[in-house]
Copies of this chain bind each other. A is one copy, B any other.
Amino acid sequence: MPSKSINKFFAPKSVAIIGASDNTKKFGHVILKNYMDMGFTGNIYPINPGHDSILGIKCYKSVLDVHDDIDSAVIVVPPKAANDALKDCVKKRIEAVVMITAGYRETGGAGICREQELKSIIKDTDTRVVGPNCIGIYDSFGKIDTLFLPDYKLKRPASGNIAFISQSGAFALSILDWAATEEIGISRFVSYGNRADVDEIELLNYLRDDKKTKAIAVYLEGVRNGRDFLACLKKVAAKKPVVILKAGKSKSGTKAVQSHTGSLAGSYEVFKGAIRQGGAIEAENTEQLFDFCRVLAYQPTAKGQRIAVITNGGGFGVMCADSIEKAGLSLSEFSKDTIENIKSVMPKEYSSVHNPLDLIGDADVRRFEVAINNVLKDRNVDAVIIVTLLQTASLGPEIVDVIASANERSKKPIIVSASGGEYTQLLLRSLEKDSIPAYPSPDRAVSAMKTLIEYSKC
């Protein structure tokens, strides 16, 4: 039996905020304001028996008092009232309910019973639940934002093509905030908390067919059913890249998982095998999760593993070559034409053009442009890593436009590495907006490129 659709979570035409509040400190206020600020185009129904209107919108005592149909609801009332609110949602035939409220299975004791009750409330109904005990959904296209933290504490990422689902709300918060600052765009984000109903399998299946999503980042502590998860991975990863960060790999980590989300972490070796068998990609740490997703979402696949390295900082070229060899990839041999054309823009005393290509410290934008374009044309080159030193006197910020324009025309993957302070970071974010993944070290750039090349072989 196919499970009931979860589509309404992402494209609702209306939303009820159950527990909406005029107190700016309450989650119910922040969430209501989020929907308004995001420009949610459907109807918004604040639900709170104590108010006639909140933030200028008519307020209702219950969802049952609303005349029109309602597609989705967010529940932020205290635990004692949450299941009753859910019952109203079921009566009102609301299909998508995000339960932010905590105090369920994760607290043990009475919370476990409360979660059992939740499950029985929605059993055999049209209502689906994300949560409880979660931070919910952020959808940059559907204009949905249940993240209950104000913008000054938690920046929201722009629209983009990376989806992100997370079993941990806290981890997700910090990543979304970081992504926003780094100009990394997110398509849909879901924190599904206690996973009382909707789980990672359904979310992955939804994202597989989601046209806005090109790569999927997953933070997992444990899965409900290993066999189903593996079957799901196989289907999803065959269509688009799935990168998984697994927490609870060690003995002590596994123990910690139990007291965190109450799920069983299971054997890491088994899980690792499932990721590989399922065709997904494992991120070994938090940095790799998005290092890998970005290159997979932004860049075309590579036809081979011969990489050209272009730099204006010799030492960086050396380190990049080291990383490439260590990663088991290879440096391209440039063709004669490439060598001749690049030589023509180099200073006279410059000895020889080879790979890694050191354009030396006085390289300007023009020299980079000639090098990048020639290398991209070269049949011996499958992919390009540009390691820029943006601090030099001769290199203007227009280098960003040159790289972006080459990227637009090329079918070969291009990634950038640059280290530095505010000025460098500003330019890197600009590249990021143009779908060129930029990394703070040659090491991380090569590791991302390796992932892309391995994915390309599948």
What 0/1 pattern do residues 226 to 262 of A give for CB contact below 8 A with B?
0000000000000000000001111111011101110
A260: chain B residues within 8 A (beta carbon): 314-315, 317-318, 358
Determine the interface band of chain A, counting residues with CB < 8 A from chain B: 35 or more
Q: Which of A8-25 contact B (CB under 8 A)?
A: 25
A361 CB within 8 Å of chain B:
yes
A155, closest chain B residue (CB): B421
A274 CB within 8 Å of chain B:
no
Contact A259-B351, Cβ < 8 Å, known A170-B389, A393-B149, A441-B285: yes
Most buried by B among A173, A323, A444: A173
A35 CB within 8 Å of chain B:
no
A86 CB within 8 Å of chain B:
no
Q: Which of A344-394 contact B (CB under 8 A)?
A: 349, 351-352, 354, 356, 358, 361, 389-393
Most buried by B among A248, A314, A349: A314
Say which residue of B102, B174, B250 sits within 8 Å of A325 (CB atoms). B250
In the complex, are the beta carbons of B318 and A253 less than 8 A apart? yes
In the complex, are the beta carbons of B316 and A171 less than 8 A apart? yes
A221 CB within 8 Å of chain B:
yes
In the complex, are the beta carbons of A257 and B420 less than 8 A apart? no
In the complex, are the beta carbons of B349 and A109 less than 8 A apart? yes
Contact A169-B361, Cβ < 8 Å, known A250-B326, A319-B247, A391-B154: yes
Say which residue of B153, B287, B349, B391 sits within 8 Å of A440 (CB atoms). B287
CB distance from A322 to the nearest CB of B (A): 4
A161 CB within 8 Å of chain B:
no
CB distance from A138 to the nearest CB of B (A): 13
Apart from A149-B392, A169-B361, A174-B418, list 9 A-B contacts with CB within 8 A.
A27-B393, A107-B349, A173-B313, A173-B389, A173-B392, A250-B321, A252-B321, A259-B314, A260-B358
Q: How long is the Cα–Cα vector from A171 to B392 in the complex, in angstroms?
A: 11
In the complex, are the beta carbons of B253 and A322 less than 8 A apart? yes
What 0/1 pattern do residues 81 to 121 of A give for CB contact below 8 A with B?
00000000000000000000011000111010000000000
In the complex, are the beta carbons of B248 and A177 less than 8 A apart? no
